[in-house]
């Protein structure tokens, strides 16, 4: 072989390495922190990590976009296949189309409605998408059922184990437990405030008897539960020894899976050739942020309308540009009794043109002063897309009654707030879809008061009130919780 040939072969060899390497890095979407101080990582790490190490939230380095043609081609897909298509650009390098298709078919096959997320017309240009046909009757199942299976797949493949720890005031805990009970490579510990959640909510968690599920009833409030979970994550030694992980609403994977039903609804009403709007009852800003991402991905969304109860930090912000924390006030829509909408940080990052330093500064301010304000340009950007409405409990019940009389559709208190927000803010010439986030049977009292109808639990849950429960009551002490997790993890 001549020296010349060797050089050619060597050059070809280099070239293939470069092509291979660059196509691989090009293919794999990276995630960055909204506070700019954590390393950028791939989907697998984002899935398992939850929060970034600098306290920020992970967002994709750039949002994948679909062309009109690509979106049009999605019209004929089943819900599960649509989910796989929407998720694929986000999970490259971790889960391929085959993995996603498998996970999503498994996740949605047990939903109680064949359409998975049925869409109903209620008024001229107003629609309701029922997102409560999963196992725990709230919209959180739609993401959690997929995310639990993703955990299982990734952990098994890497021969890893994790311990999921979380606090709940109701719906998140049951959705997480229901999704994780089938996962072999993890244990899940959910803390709820003892005697401070509804019986239906408690039983949805405590009647799931599985060797990897641990329900802790803490002698304290929801805030105490959350504060203990935070302390566990902040304890580096404990964190590392038990490989702690979280599936709360700041986990990017949950946002990603929620994008799917925005596409589903919009496609059914004529997207990408027709604009639509959405109205969403909002607490942590997770659900509605998924709508924002759907828009960034090419879905023609005109308005995103948010509804809140008297914990109205978001509607106040939209009016004033000031995010001002107040005391949490209990309401008949308890899943939105929130004064810190964690996922809003992701929107802030976008409207501040991804200035992580500025986001960090505002978040520090919020932590220490309980408020921050954004510059007028940023507020204008937010107001050009979002609008909001606050409802008192009285107004919420009136809305439930009104919608029932008008259409026969029974809304739960959360969904009724979304509906009221749509009626107030939706442009009349564009179809608006209200996301119904819970089955009315989860909140029977206010629904009964408003309509005279006692909403029935679906068949699969009709024996919920007589099933065997399992939970451990523990004192409001960090050490007791640590000891419990330590000994339980050893047994499994």
Ligand X SMILES: *Cc1c(COP(=O)(O)O)cnc(C)c1O
User: Interface with ligand X by CB under 6 A: which residues?
Assistant: 138, 140, 171, 249, 281-287, 335-336, 414, 437-438
- Closest CB to ligand X among 174 and 277? 174
Q: Is the dihedral of CA 81, 89, 261, 169 positive or negative?
A: positive
φ, ψ (nearest 5 deg) of residue 298: 115, 0
- Closest CB to ligand X among 238 and 317? 317
Rounded least distance, CB 173 to ligand X, Å: 11
Rounded least distance, CB 124 to ligand X, Å: 25
Q: Residue 13: enclosing H or E segment and its boundaries?
A: helix 3-27
- Closest CB to ligand X among 36 and 334? 334
Using alpha carbons only, what angle is made at residue 143 by residues 141 and 147, rounded to the nearest 5 degrees? 110
Residues 473, 30: Cα–Cα separation, whole Å: 42
Burial 175-202 (b: 16+ CB within 10 A, else e): bbbbbbbebebbbbbbbbbbebbeebbb
Closest by CA to 433, choosing from 139, 120, 132, 138, is 120
- Closest CB to ligand X among 95 and 403? 403
Rounded least distance, CB 343 to ligand X, Å: 7
Residues 268, 118: Cα–Cα separation, whole Å: 10
Using alpha carbons only, what angle is made at residue 174 by residues 60 and 94, rounded to the nearest 5 degrees? 30
CA 12 to the chain's CA centroid: 47
CB 303 within 8 A of CB 277: yes
Rounded least distance, CB 316 to ligand X, Å: 16
Residues 129, 120: Cα–Cα separation, whole Å: 6
Rounded least distance, CB 287 to ligand X, Å: 4
Rounded least distance, CB 414 to ligand X, Å: 4
- Closest CB to ligand X among 101 and 335? 335
Rounded least distance, CB 198 to ligand X, Å: 12
Name the H helices within 168-247. Answer: 171-180, 199-206, 222-234, 236-242
Closest by CA to 391, choosing from 443, 487, 314, 321, is 314
- Closest CB to ligand X among 92 and 282? 282
Tell whether omega for the bond before 272 is within 30 degrees of 0, i.e. cis. yes
Rounded least distance, CB 30 to ligand X, Å: 25
Rounded least distance, CB 288 to ligand X, Å: 6
Active site residues: 140
3-state SS assignment for residue 481: helix
CA distances from 1 to 4, 8, 10, 15 (A): 8, 11, 13, 20
Which residues have C-beta within 8 Å of that of residue 418, sequence separation ≥ 6?
A: 279, 280, 281, 305, 307, 434, 435, 436, 437
3-state SS assignment for residue 117: coil
Residues 278, 131: Cα–Cα separation, whole Å: 13
Which residue in this structure is represented by tokens 């189309």?
Answer: 97
- Closest CB to ligand X among 290 and 485? 290
Using CB atoms within 10 Å of the CB of residue 208, give its burial: 0 to 12 exposed, 13 to 18 middle, 19+ buried. Answer: buried
């Amino acid at each position: 072989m001549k020296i010349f040939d060797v050089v050619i072969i060597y050059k070809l060899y280099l070239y293939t390495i470069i092509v291979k390497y660059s196509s691989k890095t090009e293919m794999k979407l990276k995630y960055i922190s909204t506070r700019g101080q954590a390393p950028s990582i791939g989907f697998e790490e984002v899935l398992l990590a939850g929060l970034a190490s600098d306290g920020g939230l992970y967002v994709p380095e750039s949002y994948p976009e679909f062309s009109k043609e690509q979106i049009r081609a999605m019209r004929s897909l089943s819900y599960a296949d649509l989910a796989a298509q929407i998720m694929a650009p986000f999970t490259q390098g971790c889960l391929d189309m085959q993995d996603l298709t498998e996970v999503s078919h498994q996740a949605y096959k047990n939903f109680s409605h064949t359409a998975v997320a049925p869409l109903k017309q209620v008024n001229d240009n107003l629609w309701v998408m029922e997102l409560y046909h999963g196992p725990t009757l709230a919209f959180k199942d739609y993401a959690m059922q997929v995310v639990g299976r993703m955990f299982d797949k990734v952990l098994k493949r890497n021969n890893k184990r994790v311990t999921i720890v979380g606090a709940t005031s109701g719906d998140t805990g049951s959705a997480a437990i229901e999704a994780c009970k089938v996962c072999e490579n993890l244990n899940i510990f959910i803390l709820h405030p003892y005697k401070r959640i509804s019986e239906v909510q408690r039983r949805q968690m405590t009647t799931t008897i599985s060797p990897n599920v641990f329900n802790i009833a803490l002698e304290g409030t929801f805030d105490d539960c959350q504060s203990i979970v935070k302390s566990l994550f902040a304890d580096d030694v404990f964190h590392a020894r038990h490989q702690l992980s979280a599936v709360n609403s700041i986990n990017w994977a949950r946002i990603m899976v929620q994008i799917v039903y925005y596409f589903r609804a919009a496609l059914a009403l004529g997207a990408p050739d027709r604009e639509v709007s959405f109205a969403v009852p909002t607490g942590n800003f997770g659900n509605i942020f998924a709508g924002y991402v759907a828009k960034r991905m090419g879905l023609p969304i005109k308005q995103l309308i948010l509804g809140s109860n008297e914990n109205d930090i978001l509607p106040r912000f939209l009016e004033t540009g000031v995010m001002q924390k107040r005391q949490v006030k209990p309401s008949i829509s308890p899943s939105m009794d929130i004064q810190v909408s964690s996922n809003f940080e992701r929107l802030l990052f976008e409207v501040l043109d991804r200035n992580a330093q500025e986001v960090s500064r505002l978040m520090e301010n919020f932590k220490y002063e309980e408020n921050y304000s954004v510059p007028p340009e940023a507020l204008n950007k937010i107001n050009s897309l979002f609008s909001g409405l606050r409802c008192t409990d009285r107004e919420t019940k009136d809305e439930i009654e009104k919608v029932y009389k008008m259409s026969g559709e029974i809304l739960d208190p959360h969904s009724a707030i979304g509906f009221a927000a749509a009626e107030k803010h939706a442009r009349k010439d564009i179809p608006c879809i209200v996301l119904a986030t819970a089955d009315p049977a989860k909140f029977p009292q206010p629904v009964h008061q408003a309509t005279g109808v006692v909403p029935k639990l679906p068949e699969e849950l009709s024996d919920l009130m007589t099933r065997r429960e399992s939970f451990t009551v523990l004192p409001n002490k960090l050490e007791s919780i640590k000891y419990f997790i330590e000994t339980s993890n050893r047994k499994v």
